Structure 1
Amino acid sequence: MSESTEKSGGLDLADPYTLTADGIKEPPVGWKASFRYLGPGLILSASIVGSGELIATTTLGAEAGFALLWLVIISTLVKVALQVELARWTIATGQPALTGYNKVPPRVGRIGWVNILWALLALSKLLQLGGIIGGTAAAFSILLPIVGEPLGFGSLLLWTCVLAAFSIGMLYSNRYSLIERGAVALVVVFSVVTVLIALGLPLTPFAYGASDLGSGLMFLIPAGAVGAAVAMFGITGVGADEITFYTYWCVEKGYARWVGPNDGSEAWVRRANGWIRVMYKDAAVSWVIYTFGTLAFYLMGAAVLNPQGLVPEGNGMITTLSRIYTDTLGEWAGVIFLVGAIAVLGSTMWASIPSWSRMYTNLLATFGVLDWQDPVARLRWIRVFTVALPLIWGVCFMTIQSPVVMVQIGGVMTGVFLVAVVVAVYYLRRTETDPRLYGGRGFSVALGVSSVAIGLLGIYTLLSVFGLKIG
C-alpha cells in the first residue's frame, strides 16, 4: 500500500499494520520533499466533498441564505485538531481507530462503549450512504433515462444496481494506490468546476456582494434553521466517520510502518515527529480542498436557490440543485452539473466503501471474529463488506427514496458520536501517546477549542432528540 510495497492479489506482502525494523524510512523535510507522501487526506477530501457539500450544505444555503456562512467555516475548521490528534496516536502505535476506541473503559464483555456507539452510528450511516448512492443514481437517471421516465422507479433501480456493481468491481482489490488515485481524480473534476462557478456568480443575475458575505459572518442562526445547522455541523468538514477512517489510510499510506516499532530511542522519536509533520501537511491540504468546496456549495445555495425559494427535497433534489447551473449559465449547463454531481457523489461512494469496509472488519476483530493482525483474514473480510455495503445502501435508498433526509439523519448521528470520539482521543493521548510526540501549546489550545465545540454540539443534539429546546 506504500509506494515501495509489492502486491499480490490485492494483498501487501509487507503488511503496513505490522511494524518492523526493516520498514523504517527517514521522513522528508519541507513541503517539496513531503508532497509525494501526501494521500490519506485526499481520500478524506473525496469522502467529504460529496454528500455534506452537495446536499446538506447547499440545502442549508437555500434555507438560510447567507446568514450561516460563518458556520460553514467553523464546521470545517473546528474538528481538524481532533483528526490530527487521533492520527498522531495511530502513527506512533500502528493501530487504527476502532482498535483504540475499544480500549476506552468501561467495556461490555470484549467491546468498549465507544465501539457500541460506533455500531449505532454505522446503522444510521446506512441511511446517509444510501442517500449518496441514490443521489448518484438520480443524476444518472436524469442524464440517461434508459428505462422509463427520469426519476421513475425503473430508471432509479437500474442505475442503483449499475452503480453498486461498478463500485464492487472497481474496489474489490482494495489496493491503496488505486483508491488514492481514483479519489484524487474525482475530487479535481467537480471541485474545480464548482469553485469557478461560485466565484463567477457576481457576474450573473444572482450576484452577491461584500454586504452579503458580511451578513453571513455575524454568528447568528436564523429561526427555523437550527436543525439543518446542527446536521450540517455534524456532516461537513471531518465528521466522526472521517476522523475515524483517516487513521486507516495513514497506516496504509505507510506513515506508521516508516516510523517503525517504538524502541524508546531518540531516533524513533525523531522519525515519529517527522512523519507526524508530514501528516500535518496532508491534513492541511485536505482542509483547504474541502473548505473551499464547502464554501462554494453554500454560496451557490444562498445566492441562487434562496432568492427563488427553492429547497432540495426528495428525488427532485438533483433537479432543484441543477437550477444553480441552468439559472446561472443557461440550460446547456444542466448536463455539466449532472456530470459534476455524479463525480462529487461518486467520490463519496469511492472513498466510503473501502473506508467503511475496513471499519466494519476492525469492529468484528474487536468481537474476536478475526485477528486484525492477520493480513489474509483481514483482506477477506474487507472484501466481504466491499460487496455487501453497496448492495445494502442501494436497498436503503430504494426503500426510502429521500436523499436529503437520509443524509441529514446521518449527519445528526455523526454529531452525537463526535463526543465519544473526543473522549477516546483524550484517553489514548493520556495513556498511549508518547509525551515526546505531543504538539505544542498552540495545538493544545486548538484541541481544547475543538473538543468544547464538539461537546456542545453533542449536548444540543441529544437534547433535541428528547424534544428539549434551548433558547
Structure 2
Amino acid sequence: IAYFYWCQEKGYARYTGTNDGSQDWKYRAQGWISVMKLDAIVAMIIYTLVTSVFYLLGASILFGKESLPEGTDLILALASIYTSSLGEGAKVVYLIGGFFALYSSVFATLAYWTRLFPDIFLSLKAIEVTEVNTVVRILAFLFPLAWIVMYWTVQLPGVLVLIGGLIGSILLLVTLYIGIQFRQKNLKLGFGYSIISRLFFWISVGSILGVSIYGIIQVWN
C-alpha cells in the first residue's frame, strides 16, 4: 500500500500523462509498469534473502530454549544472535544498529500512515480535500506520541510485535481486495491480458490470502 504513495510523490508515471485512449499513452504506461515490475522483483529478492538470514540466525540461537524472554529482555536475547557468533563486543554495535533500523522503520511507517489515514477519512467523507495537509501534520504528531505511550505502558516488545503482525495480516486482506479491483480496471485499459500475467496474479492472490489467514490464526491462538 505504501508503495503507491511513494510512486505518486516521486513522480512515477507522471510523464505518461492523462489517459487519452491513444496507443502512445498505452506505450508510455507500459514502460512505467515495467519499471515498477523491476522494483517489485528486486525488492522481493532482497527482502526474501534478508528475512531468511534473520530467521535462520534467530532459530539457531533460540532452538532448544523452553521459553522466550519476557519484556525488554527480549531485545537483549535478540542481541545474542550476534554476540553468540561474533563475540560480546558485537552487542553494542547491534544495539546502535538496531536503533537506526527501528528509527528508519518508524520514519517510513509514519510517512505511510499519515497519508493512508487522510485518504480513508476522505473516502468516508469525514474531511474535505482542503483539510488533508492539516490532517497529515496532526497525525505526524499524534502517531509517534501514541507509539511512545503504548511502548512505555506495555513494555512487552513481543506482544507489540504480535499486535503489529495481526494488523499487518488484516491489511494484507485489504491490499488483496484493492489489488483485485485495480486489476479489473487495468483489464479495461488493455493491461494484464497475458496468460503469464494472469497466472502470477492469481498465485499472488492465493499466497497473500493464505499468509494473511495463517498470520491471524497464529496471533489469535
Q: Which of 24, 30, 53 is 1:267 aligned to?
A: 24
Residue 264 of structure 1: SS of its match in structure 2?
Answer: coil
RMSD, aligned CA: 2.4
* Alpha-carbon distance in 2 for matches of 1:343, 1:362: 29
- Give the one of 242, 247, 256 matched to 2:13: 256
How far off is 1:420 after superposition? Answer: 3.6
1:343 shift after superposition? 2.0
Residue 439 and residue 349 in structure 1: after superposition, are their counterparts in 2 closer, same or farther (change >3 A)? farther
Quick check: 1:411 aligned with 2:165?
A: yes
SS in 1 for 2:18: coil
Q: What is aligned with 2:198? A: 444
Equivalents in 2 of 1:264, 1:291: separation in Å?
38
1:456 equivalent in structure 2: 210
CA distance in 2, matches of 1:466, 1:301: 23
Query: Which residue in the other structure is 1:324 paired with?
Result: 81
1:278 equivalent in structure 2: 35
Q: CA deviation at 1:355?
A: 0.6
Q: The residue matched to 2:184 in structure 1 has which SS?
A: helix
State the structure with bigger RCO (CA 8 A, min sep 6), 1 or 2: 1
Match of 2:120 in 1: 363
Secondary structure of 1:282's partner? helix
Instruction: Give the Å deviation of 1:412.
Output: 2.4
Where structure 1 has 5 or more consecutive residues not aligned to the other structure, the ranges are 1-243
TM-score, scaled to structure 2:
0.88
Q: TM-score, normalised by structure 1?
A: 0.43
Give me the whole-angstrom Cα distance separating, in 1, the residues matched to 2:100 and 2:210: 34
Alignment partner for residue 394 of structure 1, among 148, 151, 157? Answer: 148
| Distance in 1, Cα, partners of 2:68 & 2:215 | 23
- On the 8 A contact 2:166/2:216 being kept in 1, the answer is no
What's the offset of the Cα at 1:422? Answer: 1.9
Partner of 2:56 in structure 1? 299
| Structure 1 consecutive aligned stretches of length 4 or more whose deviation exceeds 3 Å | 307-313, 369-372, 431-435, 456-467
Question: Higher helix fraction: Structure 1 or Structure 2?
Answer: 2
Who is 1:126 aligned against? none
Deviation at 1:252, TM superposition (A): 0.9
Cα 1:259–1:446 change in 2 (3 A) is same
Name the residue aligned to 2:94. Answer: 337
Deviations 1:193-219 (A, max 9, x none): xxxxxxxxxxxxxxxxxxxxxxxxxxx
Which piece of structure 1 moves more, 301-310 or 251-260?
Answer: 301-310
Q: Which residue of 2 aligns with 1:160?
A: none
Contact 1:322–1:337 (8 Å) recurs in 2: yes
**Counterparts of 1:462 and 1:305 in 2: how far apart (Å)?**
23
Q: CA deviation at 1:435?
A: 3.8
Conserved in 1, the CA contact under 8 Å of 2:79 and 2:91?
Answer: yes
Assess if the C-alpha contact under 8 Å between 2:166 and 2:219 holds in 1. Answer: no
SS at 1:313 equivalent: coil
Q: How far off is 1:439 after superposition?
A: 6.1
Alpha-carbon distance in 1 for matches of 2:66, 2:99: 25
Percent identical pairs in the alignment equals 34
How many positions carry a matched residue from both structures?
A: 221
- Contact 2:169 / 2:213 at 8 angstroms: preserved in 1? no
CA contact (8 A) 2:169 2:211 kept: yes
Give 1:352 deviation, angstroms: 0.5
1:172-187 to 2 correspondence within 5 Å? none
* Secondary structure, aligned partner of 1:262: coil
Q: Structure 2: 5+ residue runs without aligned partners?
A: none
- Kindly provide the amino acid, as one letter, of the partner of residue 147 in structure 2: W
8 Å CA contact 2:16–2:25 kept in 1: the answer is yes
The CA distance in 2 between the partners of 1:362 and 1:327, in whole Å, is 46
Bigger Cα displacement from structure 2, 445-454 vs 414-423: 414-423
State the one-letter code of the partner of 2:153: T
Correspondence for 1:422: 176
Q: 1:310 to 1:339 in 2, by over 3 A?
A: farther
* Distance in structure 2 (CA, Å) of the matches to 1:358 and 1:417: 15
Structure 1 letter corresponding to 2:197: F
1:259/1:271 contact within 8 Å kept: yes
Render the CA deviation track for 1:376-421: whole Å, top value 9, x for unaligned: x433221111111100111111111111111112212322342343
Deviations 1:300-336 (A, max 9, x none): 1122232555735321111101111222121111111
Native 8 Å contact 1:260 1:268 kept in 2: yes
The answer to whether the 8 A contact 1:310-1:320 is kept is no
